[in-house]
Chains A and B, each alone.
Chain A
Amino acid sequence: MTIQQAFFSYFAGAIVALSLLVVTRKNPVHSVLWMLLLFVHIASLYLFLNAEFLAAIQIIIYAGAILVLFLFVIMLLNLRKEETEKRFQGQWPFGLAIGVVLAVFVVLIVGKIGVLPELGQYSVEAVKSEGHIMTVGKVLYTEFLLPFEIASVILLVAIVGAVVLAKRSLE
């Protein structure tokens, strides 16, 4: 086992273990913390794939913004009492069933993949020569301009919607 494989095995194993911890903790704040650690491990895996920009974005967006909002909501709801009630703990057999079905499908599909597709123009060397941010930016504003703009408009609609809802409750 080379050093790379050892590192990869650690991160892959840790990601699975941390995901299990996230879904099994009773206290939602602890879940969120394990999730933070999970995101850091995922970012490290991106680093292994030489995708440093993606790793930074993973931490900034997921750990820095989305997860903080999770934490915000959980804290404001004060789940300390509710977490011990029975009706908030009864869904796990259902969740487990869905998870098992998904896992079976994933295993079946991964087994079918025989031939890997040809590598595209964005090889490691090509990306390295002009830098990640420039490559991602160029692709985003040429090849994927339309999806990018559509995603922006959808997000804008969500923002406007949130403002409208907040304003209505104020009046």
Chain B
Amino acid sequence: MTFSGTEIEMDITTIIWTLFKTVAAVSVLMLHVAYVVYFERKVIGHMQARLGPMRVGWHGLLQPIADGLKLFFKEDIIPSQADKPIFYIAPIIGMIAVLSSLAVIPLWEGFSIANLNIGILYILALSSVGAYSIILAGWASNSKYSFLGGLRSSAQVISYEISMGLSLVGVMMLAGSANLSDIVRAQSGHWFLWSQPVACLIFVLSAIAETNRAPFDLPEAESELVAGYFTEYSGMRFGLFFMAEYAGMFIMSALGSICFLGGWNGPDFGIFANVPKVIWLLLKVYGCIFFYFWIRATLPRYRYDQLMNLGWKLFIPLALANVVVTGLIKILWK
């Protein structure tokens, strides 16, 4: 049997280099995730005229580490009628899906673990795989609160994935590529935020719904569902869901910064030219994450039918119209 056209470069140095990049990127991301949680508690604390964590370390700086240790040593409780194998793997699926998305995020010129031509589609595919973790966790727990959370999440994630995908179509059309590095290069002089404002708005709100964050956090609405899909989870399995949510926010913010805010591009004059490009990307990512927290501290939770109406009756038609208008303008200006 011959394989015409399959070229897999099985060079041993390439493999080791890729593995090294993967380990480095994942460990740096996990550290960021720990401190994104601290950042959130501080931001929301100050927005509500509190101080946030203050006790562990200087201004509570060691709080994430204390929290992590606590989660590691807690007992892992499994409900008696739970579907054990699925209960075990559900949080792992979520974590894998989020961490794999990191592979295509270009951190600076020429650095991404895998420079795929279908980068955007790859992230969309993985975010749909991530939905399984929530649905399965809800089902396997054998608890009505978990189950309701899982059902809500599956409907929500599927609906908002459509509008998110459609909002990114405009970006792909302008850049002429679905490769994230090419999209950043296409924005070297001019961010897509200015030429795709509608798409940007739809993307931001869909990303909030996609990551199950307030005000669209109905799958875990604590006022009605205890904790939603992870009600029955405890210890490190709960920790995995928690980290997957924050890592998901990080990935979505990175995708938003790359598609709409110019990615690693920054000001090129004076002392700014010497700043490493990754700093610009991280600044934009943290700006987006701050926006997530700001919205959470400001807006009350949506009702479920309002959320569905917003997604299907406003965002999807608007995103479709945006695709048509972008296509028309691109043809007419040629």
Contacts and interface: CB of A to CB of B under 8 A. Distances in A.
B189 interface: no
Interface in A5-63: 5, 7-8, 27, 29-30, 33, 36, 48-50, 52-53, 55-57, 59-60, 63
A7 B5 CA distance: 15
Interface string B128-167: 1101100110010000000100110011001001000100
A155 interface: no
A23 to B, nearest CB: 18
B54 interface: no
Contact of B6 (A48, A64, A72, A75): A48
Interface string A77-97: 000000000000000000000
A48 B86 CA distance: 30
Contacts of B158: 64-65, 68-69
Interface residues of B, number: 36
B283 interface: no
Contact of B125 (A56, A68, A72, A131): A56
A65 B124 CA distance: 12
Interface in B214-237: none
B269 interface: no
Contacts of A169: none
A64 B162 CA distance: 11
A3 interface: yes
Give chain B's interface secondary structure class.
helix
Nearest to B10: A3
A68 B1 CA distance: 36
A132 B117 contact: yes
A59 B118 contact: no
A36 B89 CA distance: 13
A29 B86 CA distance: 9
A4 interface: yes
A75 B139 contact: yes
**Most chain B CB neighbours (cut-off 10 Å) among A7, A65, A68, A132:** A68
A76 B155 CA distance: 13
Contacts of A52: 116-118
A63 B129 contact: yes
A5 B132 CA distance: 32
B279 interface: no
B117 A131 contact: yes
A151 interface: no
Interface of B: 1, 3-6, 8, 10, 83, 85-86, 116-118, 121-122, 124-126, 128-129, 131-132, 135-136, 139, 147, 150-151, 154-155, 158, 161, 165, 172, 177-178
Contact of A60 (B83, B86, B125, B136): B125
Contacts of B147: 75
Give chain A's interface secondary structure class.
helix
B6 A4 contact: yes
20 contacts: A3-B10, A7-B8, A8-B3, A30-B86, A33-B86, A33-B136, A48-B3, A48-B6, A55-B118, A60-B165, A63-B128, A64-B161, A65-B128, A65-B158, A68-B131, A68-B154, A69-B158, A72-B135, A75-B147, A75-B151
Contacts of B154: 68, 71-72
B4 A53 contact: no
Contact of B1 (A8, A27, A64, A132): A8
A145 interface: no
Contacts of A5: 1, 3
A156 to B, nearest CB: 13
